[in-house]
Chains A and B, each alone.
Chain A
Amino acid sequence: MRRQLQLSVACAAAFLIVLLGLPLANYYAPELMATRVAGFTLSWLILGVVFFPVVWVISYVFIKRSIGLEEAEVRQVENERKG
């Protein structure tokens, strides 16, 4: 449970840095965030399009590791039972 929580917290931190950092970037660097990329402003492109794949990557990593942790735990307990 402790390792699961650590994993969850690490993934949440990665997500929160992106999510809560974007308003700060808009606040402190408005001109940079208004740079044009194919018509979009940079800020619009990040929030409206790029954000989704980033979240998918975080959740994919989480699920792989989380299911791995569970299996490790099961193996450990079963070994103890046998021994």
Chain B
Amino acid sequence: MGTTSFLLAVVDSGGVDGWIVAFSAITVIVTLWMGFRAAKTSKTASDFFVAGRSVSVGWNASAISGEYLSAASFMGIAGMVMSSGYDALWYPVCYACGYLFLLLFIAGPLRRFGAYTIPDFAEGRFDSPLFRKIAVCFVLFIGFFYTMPQMKGAGVTLAYIFPSLPYWAGVVLVGGVITLNVALGGMKGITLVQAFQYWIKMFAISVPIFVVMAVYGGYGAHIGANKTVVENAAPIVEVTRQPLTEKAPRDEVWVAPFGPLTTKAVNAAAKAMPEEERAVFLAEKQKSYSLLYTYSLIIALVCGTAGLPHILVRFYTNPDGGAAKRTTMWVMILIGVFYVFPPVFGVLGRNLLPELYAGLGAKGTDKIVLELPRLIAEKYGVLGSILSGITCAGAFAAFMSTFSGLLVSMTGALAHDVYGRILRPQSTAEQRLRAFKFSAVLIGGVAVLLGCFVEPLEINFMVGQAFAIAAASYFPLLFMSVWWRGMTMKGAATGMLAGGLCALIAATVTNLATLSLDPGPMGKLFAGFKGMNDFWATHPLLRILCEQPAIWAVPLAIVLMVIVSKLTSKDVPSDVRMKMLVLHAPEKLGLKQEYIQEHQAGLGH
């Protein structure tokens, strides 16, 4: 009764659009229904972890894409293009192109090796249960960094649908619902749901923006309205533009490379200088530091894609290595087409809704995807609400699918590795299923708690950090162990730990320092980290290396792996030739051995 009246009060308090609520509710209910229905058909532990390894290429590609297109892709990119302009385009491009690296170096061999998770691979490749424990930690580190932006997406969307609802309430509500779904359905449900959700997202990002472009002018025309440095006036002014607000970046820096995103550190440093030194300092450092920032971002995103635990686990649902390669190709096409659209929202949003530049947290540019289609209501009434409802449904699909995918990997790591391998190796299948459900609830709870703190941070930026950590830990591990037979367990562990932990610490420090500047409650909570910003004002280069650690952390990991492996070369596994054969020989030769069957006959088959 109490909850009902609270919900009624929220709905009554005005500003709630029936259409938007309806579309969002349908998405949530269909997702849950599919999850519950699948829960009835998935019985064994193998069903829960990798869907019995028999998913077709089309389904699997849609499911991987559905899982990959997170709140960052759906909402964050548009928000960041709007706030930072050209430089933010590197995000969608590298999110999509990172798959090429996965395809070229990792997808096929990893599938042939035939283990459930990256920790399985780590243990099997080096015959070391200790290494499994180290590898499991990073599933959780990367996973939690990746769930924070999803939770922010949930908070922003619910705060948009119900304007009187506080940010944290949305996080708790959505986090709770998905956690329940995962605990009951497992992965088999999710393969279906993920594939379905890819198509919801594709529809929800493309249809509304075509309507908005038809009414307010095209992609090119809206970019054309921004003048560049070399032009005195904008060349094409056939679109109507709202006057830019105070906080919006100027046209010429927004539309050109090396804009506000990559020059933030140098600009902050210049502000702290005496006025007469500023011009010289900016001319000297601005562009070159910005180039460094761009390269570091590219490395993080491209290498990071190949090291995301929740994506890699899906390659094991392919029937063989060849299918794994074909799946990757289709994933690149599906997500590439998708990624053309979010920047369009950002570009149009800059011209049509500049008041969002002044908004903070959940009211800032991150909600442009939800807000922009509503403009149509000025001319066509209810159509605006329907289109906004569609993008809200897409946003739900985005954070729900990614969050559940992450939850499955992290829960899998905790239940399958920590409980099933480390704590209770003798447990029965039934006990393991119960452990799976309990772990899901535990991890969901921690993710929701973390999500409540990150309102002031940009969604897309946080996902970029998760990529940087993956790039410095799992990518070197997978890449080197697949292609270099001289690698030893000690080398792999040292490199992965050093690179991954450095990136993790750098990302955490950056976030704490940003949170300390928030004018809201988070600023007070993290006020102790304000000093970091003052330090960075005098050392802009260090700030860039801390904000984008990939450019030094990835080489650090690889170099350490090579050096330590050379030093401990007597520890190279004795059957390394056989392992390389399993990784690289075509299945038709009959060398395929399901690693898991050999080592783990007891689990569910």
> Which residues of A are in contact with B by a Cβ distance under 8 Å?
1, 4-5, 8, 11-12, 15, 19-20, 23-24, 26-27, 30-31, 33-34, 36, 38-41, 43-44, 47-49, 51-53, 55-56, 58-60, 62-63, 66-67, 70-71, 73-74, 77
Interface residues in B, total, Cβ within 8 A: 56
Q: List 21 A-B contacts (CB under 8 A).
A: A1-B580, A11-B100, A12-B100, A12-B104, A19-B94, A34-B229, A36-B236, A38-B220, A39-B220, A41-B256, A43-B86, A43-B256, A44-B86, A47-B86, A52-B336, A52-B340, A53-B336, A55-B332, A58-B100, A59-B328, A71-B586
Q: Which chain B residues in 205-230 approach chain A with CB under 8 Å?
A: 218-224, 228-230
User: For A20, what are the chain B residues with a Cβ–Cβ distance below 8 Å?
Assistant: 295, 298
Please judge, given known A-B contacts A59-B100, A66-B325, whether A47 and B93 are in contact too, CB under 8 Å: yes
**Do the beta carbons of A8 and B298 come within 8 Å of each other?**
no
User: For A53, what are the chain B residues with a Cβ–Cβ distance below 8 Å?
Assistant: 336
Please judge, given known A-B contacts A4-B584, A20-B298, A66-B108, whether A51 and B325 are in contact too, CB under 8 Å: no
Report whether over half of chain A's contact residues are helix, strand or loop; otherwise say mixed: helix
Q: Which of A1, A23, A59 contacts B329 (CB 8 A)?
A: A59
**Do the beta carbons of B257 and A67 come within 8 Å of each other?**
no
Question: A20-B298, A39-B223, A71-B586 given. 16 additional CB < 8 A pairs?
Answer: A11-B104, A12-B101, A34-B228, A34-B230, A36-B235, A44-B86, A48-B340, A49-B340, A55-B100, A56-B336, A59-B100, A67-B322, A67-B325, A70-B322, A73-B586, A74-B588
- Is residue B33 within 8 Å, beta carbon to beta carbon, of the partner chain? no
**Do the beta carbons of A41 and B223 come within 8 Å of each other?**
yes
Closest to B218 in A: A39
User: For B105, what are the chain A residues with a Cβ–Cβ distance below 8 Å?
Assistant: 8, 12
A62 to chain B, nearest CB (A): 6
**Do the beta carbons of A31 and B223 come within 8 Å of each other?**
no
**Do the beta carbons of A47 and B90 come within 8 Å of each other?**
yes
**Do the beta carbons of B96 and A43 come within 8 Å of each other?**
no
Closest to B101 in A: A12
- Is residue B258 within 8 Å, beta carbon to beta carbon, of the partner chain? yes
In the complex, what distance in Å separates the CA atom of A71 from the CA atom of B328?
19
Please judge, given known A-B contacts A41-B256, A63-B325, whether A48 and B589 are in contact too, CB under 8 Å: no
B234 to chain A, nearest CB (A): 10
**Do the beta carbons of A77 and B96 come within 8 Å of each other?**
no
> Which residues of B are in contact with A by a Cβ distance under 8 Å?
86, 89-90, 92-94, 96-97, 99-101, 103-105, 108, 218-224, 228-230, 235-236, 255-258, 287, 291, 294-295, 298, 302, 322, 325-326, 328-329, 332-333, 336-337, 339-340, 343, 483, 580, 584-586, 588-589
**Do the beta carbons of A40 and B223 come within 8 Å of each other?**
yes
**Do the beta carbons of A59 and B103 come within 8 Å of each other?**
yes
In the complex, what distance in Å separates the CA atom of A38 from the CA atom of B218?
10
A52 to chain B, nearest CB (A): 4
Closest to B344 in A: A48
User: For B101, what are the chain A residues with a Cβ–Cβ distance below 8 Å?
Assistant: 12
In the complex, what distance in Å separates the CA atom of A11 from the CA atom of B102?
12
**Do the beta carbons of B336 and A63 come within 8 Å of each other?**
no
**Do the beta carbons of B97 and A55 come within 8 Å of each other?**
yes
B312 to chain A, nearest CB (A): 17
User: For A66, what are the chain B residues with a Cβ–Cβ distance below 8 Å?
Assistant: 108, 325
A49 to chain B, nearest CB (A): 6
B326 to chain A, nearest CB (A): 7
Closest to A51 in B: B93
User: For A40, what are the chain B residues with a Cβ–Cβ distance below 8 Å?
Assistant: 219-220, 223-224
**Do the beta carbons of B295 and A44 come within 8 Å of each other?**
no
User: For B336, what are the chain A residues with a Cβ–Cβ distance below 8 Å?
Assistant: 52-53, 55-56
**Do the beta carbons of A55 and B298 come within 8 Å of each other?**
no
**Do the beta carbons of A52 and B586 come within 8 Å of each other?**
no
In the complex, what distance in Å separates the CA atom of A74 from the CA atom of B589?
6
User: For A38, what are the chain B residues with a Cβ–Cβ distance below 8 Å?
Assistant: 220
**Do the beta carbons of B221 and A56 come within 8 Å of each other?**
no
In the complex, what distance in Å separates the CA atom of A4 from the CA atom of B340?
32
B288 to chain A, nearest CB (A): 8
B589 to chain A, nearest CB (A): 6
A45 to chain B, nearest CB (A): 8
Closest to A18 in B: B97
**Do the beta carbons of B326 and A27 come within 8 Å of each other?**
no
Q: Which of A5, A30, A33, A44 contacts B223 (CB 8 A)?
A: A44
In the complex, what distance in Å separates the CA atom of A77 from the CA atom of B591?
12
Please judge, given known A-B contacts A20-B295, A59-B328, whether A8 and B104 are in contact too, CB under 8 Å: yes
A54 to chain B, nearest CB (A): 9
Closest to B236 in A: A39
In the complex, what distance in Å separates the CA atom of A43 from the CA atom of B89?
10
